[in-house]
């Protein structure tokens, strides 16, 4: 079975959090998670254990889609340096830059 994406993991944690908040016992909540999320019982209990330490639901990010682009080498060097200095991944850095560029392009027609 494939590993859960960040988005799937966040949704499962939030489901576990909601079940606990609604007063389900751990056994009942685990059974619901097994059915709703297609998890093993052991996985369900792990999500419930983590959800018990949450104060609020976790944000669910949009799933990412891998793409391949070609950029000049000097841009890649600058991009890697910026990503490392900022603590962001290269993908996050590129996504933010493209989002800003597209927003700016829409304003300028």
Place of tokens 């639901």: 57
pLDDT of residue 109: 60
Q: Where are the beta strands (DSSP E) in 1-109?
A: none
pLDDT of residue 12: 96
pLDDT of residue 99: 92
pLDDT of residue 105: 84
Residues of the chain above pLDDT 70, percent: 97
- Read off the pTM: 0.62
Report, as an integer, the average pLDDT of 2-12: 87
How does pLDDT run across 80-106, given as a tens digit for each residue? 999 999 998 999 899 999 999 999 888
d(C-alpha 36, C-alpha 69), whole Å: 37
pLDDT of residue 7: 86
Q: Taking the domains of the chain in order of start, what are their residue ranges?
A: 6-52, 73-107
DSSP, res 87:
T
């Amino acid at each position: 079975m494939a590993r859960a994406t960040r988005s799937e993991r966040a949704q499962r944690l939030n489901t576990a959090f909601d079940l606990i908040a609604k007063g389900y016992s751990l056994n009942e909540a685990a059974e619901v998670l097994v059915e709703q999320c297609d998890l093993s019982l052991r996985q369900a209990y792990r999500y419930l254990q983590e959800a018990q330490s949450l104060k609020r639901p976790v944000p669910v990010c949009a799933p990412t889609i891998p793409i391949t682009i070609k950029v000049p080498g000097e841009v890649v060097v600058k991009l890697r340096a910026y990503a490392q200095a900022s603590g962001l991944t290269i993908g996050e850095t590129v996504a933010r830059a493209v989002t800003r560029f597209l927003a700016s392009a829409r304003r300028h027609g």
